[in-house]
Each structure stands twice: as structure tokens, then as C-alpha cells.
Amino acid sequence: MTSRPGRPRAALVSLTVALVLCVLAPARGARGAEDEPVSPSNALLLLDATRAVARALVAQAPLTPGTRVGVRREAGEGVNSDALDALVMALNERRIECVVLGAAPVETQESAAPTDSAKTQSQAAPGSSAGNLGEFVKLQAERNAQAARADSVRRAQGGESSPPAATTSPSPAASVMANGGVAANLAVITYRVPEARVDYVRVFRGGLFGAERIERRASARIALRLLAPGTDAVRWSASADTSLSDVVMKSQIASLEDRTRPETRPIAPSSSIKKYIEPALVVILIAGLVSLFYQNRP
């Protein structure tokens, strides 16, 4: 019987097609991942990490449900809306009422050592600002002078003296102190955010010829202090940190970053040289197998 030369050639073609399909199968799966729903943004991943830290810290705080506390950032700390929202949410989950306060003032030498006139004004009307105190003292002096003049005129005419004006009307400083001292009887929680950022850890491929993926990690760290009501005495302090990571497609990075927040726009690491070496090795392997098959033909 004569052998048919077409059969070995057909077998070679079938073997080559099978090898190509085996190599390209992972690539189809990886490229198909680009059609998956868009992953959470970098800002949202960072917010999740911040909330996790806030819950862990608030759970440790010596506060009982039903209490009322003030929340403010420490002096010199930048505005971090994620940390504030996370703390308020964590406190509300424990049924603790929050009053958001302004940042603590930064003390200077001038404010630490007031002049004699400032001391006199602060004693005359505590709770008011320096400018308001000066106007208040001046107005009170004018009122007292007018009352003394009117009293002397009544005495000359044989009338009764009237009580001083300062004793007939309530002190404006007292009302200012009552309205401005909202946090006087509140325990205050101050917060500081030493770290809050997103990092791109590594770049890799989801298969031999797959699309590039990036492993990202969101890191957050928060420090809290609990101050006694009306004072700066620290009753409790703690700090905690956490990190969340996941894998996203590199083609989605531009849509996941927030251009207004630098902490959500890290620099992606460069791709490895393996992405060029591995496909070249596969091509060389297939070419070698085909060449070896033809050389060993009888």
C-alpha cells in the first residue's frame, strides 16, 4: 500500500492549530475582562479604608451611647472630609451625638502672653473677642458718664437718683458667652490624619498574552484624642491604621483617579520585561516543534 503524504501534513496542521488555541485561550479570557463593570474609584477605596479605621478607633473610645461630644480637627491639620465623615458616621453608629466644631486655634507667643490692656478687657467681658471687648468697655464708660451726669442734674433739682444704666440692662458679654460657649460642657474628640493615600503596588498580566492589570492599595491612619469638657486635658488617645487592596485593569486607571485629589493619583510602576520575553519564547517553541517534525519525516 502506498502511504498518503497528506496525512502527516494534516496532522501537523492540526497540532499547530491546537497549540495556538491553547496559547491564545488565556488571552481571550483576560481581554474579555475589559468588558467587566468598572471597579470602585481610588477615592472610594480610600474612603472605605478610612471608615474601617474610624470604626475601630470609636469602638475603643471610653464613650457610652447617648452622650454628646464635639468633633474637631487638631491645630495645623488640613481639612480631610473623608476622616470627618467617617468619624461622625462611626459615632452615630454607637448612638453618640456629634457637634462638629472648628479647628483648634494655633497658639502663638503674642496670644500666649497678652498685654495688660488685653487682660483688663478679658476680665471685663470674658468670652468676647479683643475688638468687641474694646468697643464694649468704651460704650460702658460712655453710658456710666451719661448716667452720672443725669444723676447730678436730678440731685440739683431735688429729684431722686436713678440706678446706673449698667445695672438695669443685662451685660452683652454674658449673652455672648452664653451663645459662644457651645462646647464648654462637651467632651471634645480631636482627630489627625497622618496618612491617607492610594498606591499602585505592581503591574502584571492576566495570562500569557493577557491584558495588563494593576494591584492597588489604599492606606489610612487616624489618631484621636478625647479632651475633658472645658479643658485641654487628654482623657484618652489612640491611633490605628489599615489598608485595602484589589486588582483592576490598567486601562481603567484613568477613570478611577480623581484629578482634584493628589493622594488618589499615584505613579504606576513600569511593566516587567517578561511581557516581551514570554510571548517570544512561545513563538520560538512552536517554530522549533514544527521544524523538528519536518526534519524527522521519513
CATH number (domain holding residue 69): 3.30.160
My answer on whether 188 and 259 are in the same domain is: yes
Mind listing the pLDDT tens digit for each residue in 182-229? 557 899 999 999 999 999 999 988 766 678 899 999 999 999 999 999
pLDDT of 174 above 70: no
> Per the domain annotation, does 6 fall within a domain?
no
pLDDT of 167 above 90: no
Mind listing the pLDDT tens digit for each residue in 265-280? 999 887 655 555 666 6
> Per the domain annotation, does 193 fall within a domain?
yes
Residue 191 CA to residue 83 CA, distance in Å, equals: 8
My answer on whether 186 and 259 are in the same domain is: yes
My answer on whether 234 and 260 are in the same domain is: yes
DSSP 43: H
CB 3 within 8 A of CB 225: no
Mind listing the pLDDT tens digit for each residue in 281-298? 677 777 777 776 666 666
DSSP 22: H
pLDDT tier, 157 (very low <50, low <70, confident <90, very high otherwise): low
> Per the domain annotation, does 93 fall within a domain?
yes
> Per the domain annotation, does 5 fall within a domain?
no
**pTM value?**
0.60
Tell me the three cell numbers of residue 282: 512561545
> Per the domain annotation, does 204 fall within a domain?
yes
Residue ranges with strand state E in 26-178 = 68-73, 97-100
Tell me the three cell numbers of residue 140: 460702658
Mean pLDDT of the chain: 74
**Which residue range(s) make up the domain with 124?**
113-181
Tell me the three cell numbers of residue 114: 497678652
More confident residue, 272 or 100: 100
Count of domains in the chain? 2
Please report the pLDDT score of residue 196 as a whole number.
95
Residue 282 CA to residue 294 CA, distance in Å, equals: 19
